[in-house]
Amino acid sequence: MQRMNFTEVTEFIFLGFSSFGKHQITLFVVFLTIYILTLAGNFIIVTITYMDRHLHTPMYFFLSMLASSETVYTLVIVPRMLSSLIFYDLPISLAGCATQMFFFVTLATNNCFLLTAMGYDRYVAICEPLRYTVIMSKGLCAWLVCGSLGTGLVMAVLHVPAMFHLPFCGTVVEHFFCDIYPVMKLSCVDTTVNEIINYGVSSFVILVPIGLIFISYVLIVSSILKIVSTEGQKKAFATCASHLTVVIVHYGCASIAYLKPKSESSVEKDLLLSVTYIIITPLLNPVVYSLRNKEVKDALCRAVGRNIS
Nearest residue to 63 (alpha-carbon basis) of 287, 303, 308, 302: 287
**How far is the CA of 267 from the CAs of 13, 40, 128, 264, in angstroms?**
15, 31, 47, 10
Q: In the prediction, which pLDDT does 293 show?
A: 66
- Maximum C-alpha span of the chain: 72
Q: What does the pLDDT look like over 59-96, one tens digit per residue?
A: 889 989 999 999 999 999 999 989 888 887 788 999 99
* pLDDT above 70 as % of the chain: 90
Report the C-alpha gap between 55 and 48 in whole angstroms.
8
Residue 148 has pLDDT above 90, yes or no: yes
Residue 298 has pLDDT above 80, yes or no: no
pTM confidence score = 0.87
Q: What does the pLDDT look like over 216-249, one tens digit per residue?
A: 989 988 888 887 777 777 777 777 777 888 888 8
Q: What angle do CA 293, 295, 301 make, to 5 degrees?
A: 105
More confident site: 6 or 168: 168
More confident site: 266 or 200: 200
pLDDT band (50, 70, 90) for residue 105: very high
For the chain, the average pLDDT equals: 84
Q: In the prediction, which pLDDT does 89 show?
A: 73
Q: Helix, strand, or coil here: 85?
A: helix
* pLDDT above 90 as % of the chain: 30
